[in-house]
Amino acid sequence: MAKKRRKRTITSYVLWFNFIAIICIAFYFHKPIIKYSFRAYRWYARKHNKGKVSPANFPMQYGVHGIDVSHYQPDIDWEHLASIATNGDTVRFQFVFIKATEGAWWEDELFAEHWENAKDNDIIRGAYHYFLPNKDAKKQAKNFIESVDLEKGDLPPVIDIEETKGLSKDEIVKAVKDYALVIEQHYNVKPIIYSNRNFIEDYLAEDFPEYTFWIAHYYEQDLNIDECEWRFWQHTDKASLLSTGAKIDANVFKGSIGDLRALLLKDKTPSFRQN
């Protein structure tokens, strides 16, 4: 019986060693694993979505259109960034907001790839951070700054806040202001604030009068809101790209392309490593 127990013990050690080795290998090679996993998914998504382009309602009274993407949109044809409206018009996208970070440590898996692709294809680009008001605001700002080097011609950084996490209005406002102050000091520009219309009206509008807002409010013909000054409107989550069929959120800018360019950064900002 003793020999059998010893044999089982050795077998257990071998299994545990193999398990730990697999974990270590996966951790060491996690970036190429993620990269090739997304490539495989892109191939599948493009094959699956081919021909499945759904027209969406676009507020055609606006002339400047854009999208926002994250790792949930791996299949982007950056050379042919367009969609189709229900009236049959082709809508070409001129700007993109790209998710960079979330919380105090996480960076979006496809941020770097989307960021470079947008630049290479002359798409006006901006980066956003998904803000968690119950987490340390300064650590979250550091996470974004470490991940995002903004250049001349980029949009100001965006703070995306959609959850209260059980905090009061005063606590939420303080957290957002603490985060925004660090971002503004580093990039020398006030961040854009993104949220849905109700959240902005209930928690943010009266305390951030000098900030530009990007508002999510779906399936309406126009966005009529007096509580804050908005420049970007995310009007649908049901648009799709003509070339791939990929589902994307669509946005408009309130103003001309010249007005949009006037918002862009005038100088390259210092990287975190230079501070």
Q: What confidence tens digit (pLDDT) does each residue in 107-143 have? A: 999 999 999 999 999 999 999 999 999 999 999 999 9
Q: What pLDDT, on the 0 to 100 scale, is given for residue 42?
A: 45
Determine which one of 89, 116, 151, 162 is catalytic.
Answer: 162
14 shares a domain with 58: no
Output the 3-class SS for 13-65.
Answer: HHHHHHHHHHHHHHHHCHHHHHHHHHHHHHHHHHHHHCCCCCCECCCCCCCEE
Q: Please check whether residues 43 and 66 belong to one and the same domain.
A: no
Residue range 28-64, pLDDT digits in tens: 554 455 444 444 444 454 445 555 788 999 999 999 9
What 3-state class would DSSP assign to 112? helix
Residues in the chain: 275
> By residue range, what is the domain housing residue 70?
54-274
Count of structural domains within the chain: 2
Shared domain check, 143 and 8? no
Q: Are residues 83 and 142 in the same domain?
A: yes
- What's the pLDDT score for residue 18? 66
Query: CA 211 to CA 181: how far, in whole Å?
Result: 12
From 10, 32, 49, the end of a domain falls on 49
- Enter the pTM of the model: 0.82
108 is catalytic: no
CATH number of the domain within which 124 lies:
3.20.20.80
3-state secondary structure (DSSP) of residue 244: coil
Q: 68 an active-site residue?
A: yes
Secondary structure (3-state) at 190: coil
How wide is the angle at C-alpha 262 spanned by C-alphas 194 and 162, nearest 5°? 0
Containing H/E element for 5? helix 2-28
